[in-house]
A and B are shown apart, each in its own frame.
Chain A
Amino acid sequence: MSNPKIEGYEFKPGFKGMSEDTGSDQTMFKGVHWGKAMMWIFLLSDTFIFSCFLISYMKGRGSTPVDWPNPSEVFALHVGGVPVPLLLIAIMTFVLITSSGTMALAVKYGYEKNRKMCGWLILATAVGGLTFVGMQAFEWSKLIHEGVRPWENPFGAKQFGSFFFMITGFHGTHVSIGVIFLSIYAYKTFAGHYDERKRGWFTSIKGDYVEIEILGLYWHFVDLVWVFIFAFFYLW
């Protein structure tokens, strides 16, 4: 992934390498594309935002004396009259993991300069993301129809709605933004911008398949956040 090769600098592994990288009076993240380092820093800040949401949810749920709605019943789907607990959420989870897998493969094929394969896999990832957002819209409208509001709901503690809409809404926004960027990058890949090292729209920097990896980091992060939301909001 990183391609560490700097003239006159020896890369050492492990913590010794870390202390030398950090104290070498040069760039700290050696062999790491600056865009990738910046994406990681952004994702770190995003981690803090989502942590604050989930921690406030924990605080809200823990401090109410009223019973919390049972997610297993609230999010059940009726298949042939029989309620199947968390069915839609499980499908959404599998769709998001599938799209994460196609993204990982897209990054791999991108580095191997396999333009077509990379482009199709990015497109498949975008379709997965779109499916996810569609199912989330269905879930939201179903709950709104059942009377769930940010200030009240028929199932239990009033705080449930506000946390639900805030957390899943913020995650859904991330997925939607991801789908937009995936579509743009799929176009750029198919058009050969990375093979020809063509410049981007607002930059003089030449295109490179490392951009696919940076996009992939964002997409995997969206999947990562869903892992935590699934565990804490839907299963707990």
Chain B
Amino acid sequence: MEETKKQEQTTTHKIGIYLWIWGLLFVLSFFSYMVDWMQFQGLVRWSLILLFMFLKAGLIMAFFMHLFWERYALVNVLLWPMTAIACFIWLMVAEFKYTLFTRLFYFFIGG
């Protein structure tokens, strides 16, 4: 029952952890704004945007929404459906490429 004891102690967390996450979110937001400010283009821009986005989302979910301290039964029910979204994105990327191809082909080259 050691786990239970531990859980009871962490029912509320020290204020420091929230302030740290808060500060980190500010810094990460500032960085993602800088991506636009510095006018990075192409692959650098996209990978930096995604990196800061996932870091921010992860921090908010893990600490502000307490998922870091929740039991796996809840965490897994919430996170696995995201794979369905990833599949959907993958499908729609294939779809928009095809649509773009047909548009370019018929609008500019002609059928």
Could you list which residues of chain A lie within 8 angstroms of chain B, going by C-beta atoms? 1-5, 10-15, 17-18, 21-22, 28-32, 37, 40, 44, 47-48, 51, 55-56, 58-60, 62-65, 72, 85-86, 90, 93-94, 97, 100-101, 103-105, 108, 111-112, 213, 216-217, 220-221, 223-224, 227-228, 230-231, 234-236
Contacts and interface: CB of A to CB of B under 8 A. Distances in A.
Contacts of A64: 100, 103
Contacts of A65: 100, 103-104, 107-108
15 contacts: A5-B4, A11-B4, A17-B72, A47-B82, A55-B92, A59-B96, A60-B96, A97-B25, A101-B21, A104-B22, A105-B15, A220-B60, A220-B64, A224-B61, A227-B57
A230 B32 contact: yes
B93 A62 contact: yes
A76 to B, nearest CB: 10
A91 to B, nearest CB: 10
A130 to B, nearest CB: 20
Interface of B: 1, 3-4, 7-8, 10-13, 15, 18-19, 21-22, 25-26, 29, 32-33, 35-37, 39, 45-46, 49-50, 52-53, 56-57, 60-61, 63-66, 69-74, 76-78, 81-82, 85, 88-89, 92-93, 95-97, 99-100, 103-104, 107-108
Given A1-B70, A30-B73, A105-B15, A86 B7 contact: no
B18 A111 contact: no
Given A44-B81, A59-B96, A228-B53, A108 B18 contact: yes
A21 B71 contact: yes
Q: Which secondary structure dominates where chain B touches chain A?
A: helix
A5 B3 contact: no
A17 B71 contact: yes
Given A32-B74, A101-B18, 18 more contacts: A29-B71, A29-B74, A40-B78, A44-B78, A48-B81, A51-B88, A62-B97, A63-B100, A85-B36, A100-B22, A101-B64, A104-B18, A104-B21, A104-B63, A108-B13, A221-B65, A224-B65, A231-B32
Contact of A18 (B11, B21, B32, B76): B76
Contacts of A28: 73
Contacts of A93: 29, 33
Q: Which secondary structure dominates where chain A touches chain B?
A: helix
Contacts, number: 174
Given A101-B18, A101-B22, A3 B100 contact: no
Nearest to A37: B74
Given A40-B78, A44-B81, A111-B12, A235 B18 contact: no
